């Protein structure tokens, strides 16, 4: 619930300013989360086709998206977590006033190889796997195989969400965990490794991996939207102040019927 409390506070805390300067050359620059990337790219293709405004989308990670907004090198930072207080302070120190816009919801999917007979885990068991308390799948009703634990890099918003929603502050991830740089990289590693486990955004789940039930609940549109899936989170666009012009049109796509369709087709969940 901590992440959702931040949503309500967003616009009130950050106030109003003119939007960034990167769009002055007739294009919109977007940078940040690999999770939000599919939504941003789908929006960009549609927006450029319908308005003629070029939209450049990069996927350097949520942390780097925040840095880009702070340094005024992007118009929109895409993030799979809320901005940290330290990032907001750094932004204000450079005359940047971050305003958050929740564009969609995501179920952070816990995935294993399709050959693994384990089909469900509790949040406590997942935490135990990542802490190194469980080291073999046979401890959890699976095959006699050493668990290959996959995590995201430290700059990832998805990693931060996983730590907050699953691990908790006082439960460190085992140093034996392998690190991958993106949702796609984790998916590929799990798909090719029978004993692997990882976590990816709902929109990245396909038949190459198996999403397990968490506390008996499947991640889908209904359970993410009503909050019964235990590992759910919002996805954000951040702008420098309240957006206007083309940047506002782009951000507001999430509220339109076409934007909702694009979000759904990207595998994520509409909030509007």
Rounded to 10°, the helix 37-51/245-252 angle is 130
Distance separating alpha carbons of residues 228 and 224, to the nearest angstrom: 7
84 DSSP 8-state letter: P
Q: How confident is the model at residue 154 (pLDDT cuts 50, 70, 90)?
A: confident
- Element (H or E) spanning 105, and its range? strand 98-107
Q: How confident is the model at residue 26 (pLDDT cuts 50, 70, 90)?
A: confident
Q: Which of 208, 186, 202 is nearest to 266 (CA)?
A: 202
Residues with Cβ within 8 Å of 34's Cβ and at least 6 positions away in sequence, in order, are 59, 61, 156, 158, 182, 183, 184
Structural domains in the chain, sorted by start: 2-105+234-265 (3.40.190.10), 109-218 (3.40.190.10)
Rounded to the nearest integer, the mean pLDDT of the chain is: 91
pLDDT in tens, 237-266: 999 999 999 999 999 999 999 999 999 999
Distance from CA of residue 167 to its chain's centroid? 17
Cα 218 to Cα 74, 109, 133, 147, 214, distances in angstroms: 36, 9, 24, 22, 7
Q: How confident is the model at residue 148 (pLDDT cuts 50, 70, 90)?
A: very high
Looking at per-residue confidence, does 252 or 272 come out higher? 252
pLDDT in tens, 56-101: 999 999 999 999 999 999 999 999 999 999 999 999 999 999 999 9
Question: Tell me, what's the pLDDT at 19?
Answer: 42
Q: Which of 258, 150, 132, 248 is nearest to 200 (CA)?
A: 150
Least confident segment among 3-12, 98-107, 165-174, 242-251: 3-12
Looking at per-residue confidence, does 194 or 10 come out higher? 194
């Amino acid at each position: 619930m901590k992440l959702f409390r931040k949503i309500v506070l967003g616009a009130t805390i950050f106030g109003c300013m003119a939007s960034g300067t990167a769009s002055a050359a007739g294009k919109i620059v977007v940078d940040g989360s690999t999770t939000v990337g599919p939504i941003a790219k789908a929006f960009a293709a549609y927006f450029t086709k319908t308005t003629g405004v070029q939209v450049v989308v990069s996927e350097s990670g949520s942390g780097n998206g925040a840095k880009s907004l702070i340094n005024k090198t992007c118009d929109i930072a895409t993030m799979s977590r809320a901005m940290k207080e330290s990032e907001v302070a750094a932004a204000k120190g450079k005359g940047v006033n971050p305003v958050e816009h929740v564009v969609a919801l995501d179920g952070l999917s816990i995935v294993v190889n399709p050959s693994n007979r384990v089909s469900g885990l509790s949040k406590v068991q997942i935490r135990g796997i990542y802490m190194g308390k469980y080291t073999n799948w046979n401890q959890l009703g699976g095959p006699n195989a050493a668990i290959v634990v996959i995590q995201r890099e430290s700059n990832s918003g998805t990693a931060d969400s996983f730590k907050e929603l699953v691990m908790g502050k006082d439960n460190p991830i085992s140093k034996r965990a392998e690190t991958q740089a993106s949702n796609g990289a984790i998916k590929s590693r799990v798909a090719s490794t029978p004993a692997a486990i990882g976590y990816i955004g709902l929109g990245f789940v396909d038949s190459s991996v198996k999403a397990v039930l968490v506390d008996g609940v499947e991640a889908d549109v209904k359970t993410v939207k009503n909050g019964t899936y235990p590992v759910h989170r919002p996805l954000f666009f951040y702008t420098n102040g309240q957006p206007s012009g083309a940047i506002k049109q782009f951000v507001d796509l999430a509220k339109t019927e076409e934007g909702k369709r694009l979000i759904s087709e990207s595998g994520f969940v509409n909030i509007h």
